[in-house]
Chains A and B, each alone.
Chain A
Amino acid sequence: MSFDIAVTLQRGHVRMTYEFAAGPGLTALFGPSGAGKTSLLDAVAGLVRPIEGRIAVSGATLFDRAQRINLRPEKRRCGYVFQDLRLFPHRCVRDNLLFGWKRVSPDERWLGIDVALNLLGIGHLLDRMPATLSGGEAQRVAIGRALLSAPRFLLMDEPLASVDADRREEILRLIERIRDELSLPILYVSHDRAEVERLAQQIIPVEPAHSAA
């Protein structure tokens, strides 16, 4: 299984339990906003600590409450494309792209810089600062930064959220290529049914938060 997840998350006074196993390719977490999809991605990335359960990706255990395993985010090797992108505003596009790249040993890198620039079509943006990029450009840089950190899996949170309507098709095609050419497990969050049905091999419905008193 690519993603093997059974966790309980606490958000404020609400507890949410998620349990699913997903095969290879792109798995979509589909549900309305506020259902805690982003919290689940944060938990897989190690940014939020579940109160109970287990998270494994491609056979590697990232979190297991019972076995007291909780890998630090920097050890999880996840490529996280945040909904709000989070490009580093004080670094140019080149430095943003290479931030994760520099922190993996050369023999673990599986994507060349030139290949990535070609795939994403961002070679001409290298010296720009993030604040000067359009929504679509910034989105492609954020995806590039995640891919170049040589991740073992990808987390994508509403990657079309910051993209203009006329650029959606371009980003959708890009995600399809990443899905088909890079053979990387992808956990994909969206609230758009058409988008999910087009991209996903497997759809996990996420219900709005149910509280357990």
Chain B
Amino acid sequence: MSGLSPAEWEVLLLSLKVSAVAIAAALPLAFGLAWMLARWRFPGKVVLDAVVHLPLVLPPVVTGWLLLLTFGTNAPMGRFFAETIGLTFLFRWTGAALAAAVMALPLMVRAMRLSLEAVDRRLESAARTLGAGPWRTFLTITLPLALPGILAALVLGLARSVGEFGATITFASNIPGETQTLPLAIYSALQLPGSELQVARLAALSVLLSVGALVLSEWLARRSGHGKGRHVL
């Protein structure tokens, strides 16, 4: 395969930008939600759990439509973000990132919640008796022990967001150079007669990206040193 054409570069870089921003934004939110669901008891926990998991079970086109209803130009959240920090989503790459983040969120919350629930809380109380406050206990005990799950969440989220199609095309539309990520570009190419080679090249790029993410996650898990004998996925 020869080098990438400028148009292919554009699609690839846009995809990477959208996914990176989506996961960077979703990571703290997903961790907070995972923590609440794993550690807290509060009324409405079941409802929160269900809402978080909604994008996992809904048809993506419905999620995209719900995003239009909440983050559209005249919708409550859309107006809030536009007026406070000047951030709009419709027909923009930020919208593609939002759709990718929402679709990745349930997978990330699940992986992190499981790993947090697996942390032995007796070890945390041992750290407390040894003079570590709650924050230091979190950093030295809870976080390292939950790290494999957090890395797994990162990889799952990344894979999910790179492959995001339905919610993105519904919410942010398919605009080359703005919201046209890899899956959307493959879809567009499929609509054009005689573009089989283009489809194949984009599909191959997509596979390379996914394999690359897997290799990266394995490497991260090994480097973290706590994953001895453990695999991220």
Q: Does B223 contact A (CB under 8 A)?
A: no
Q: Does A103 contact B (CB under 8 A)?
A: yes
* Assembly CA distance A88 to B144 (angstroms): 11
Please, what's the 1-or-0 string for B152-169, where 1 marks a CB less than 8 Å from any CB in chain A?
000000000000000000
Q: Does A2 contact B (CB under 8 A)?
A: no
Q: Does B133 contact A (CB under 8 A)?
A: yes
A103, B129: Cβ atoms closer than 8 Å: no
Q: Does B200 contact A (CB under 8 A)?
A: no
Which residues of chain B are near A82, meaning CB under 8 Å? 122, 126
Please, what's the 1-or-0 string for B131-142, where 1 marks a CB less than 8 Å from any CB in chain A?
111001000110
* Assembly CA distance A71 to B136 (angstroms): 17
B126, A149: Cβ atoms closer than 8 Å: no
Please, what's the 1-or-0 string for A70-86, where 1 marks a CB less than 8 Å from any CB in chain B?
00111011111010101
Q: Does B20 contact A (CB under 8 A)?
A: no
Contact residues, B101-145 vs A (CB, 8 A):
120, 122-123, 125-133, 136, 140-141, 144-145
Q: Does B226 contact A (CB under 8 A)?
A: yes
B125, A90: Cβ atoms closer than 8 Å: no
Interface of B is mostly: helix
CB distance from B117 to the nearest CB of A (A): 16
* Assembly CA distance A86 to B140 (angstroms): 14
* Assembly CA distance A73 to B137 (angstroms): 12
Residues of A participating in the B interface, judged by any CB pair closer than 8 Å: 45-47, 72-74, 76-80, 82, 84, 86, 88-90, 99-100, 103-104, 145-146, 149
Residues of B participating in the A interface, judged by any CB pair closer than 8 Å: 120, 122-123, 125-133, 136, 140-141, 144-145, 226
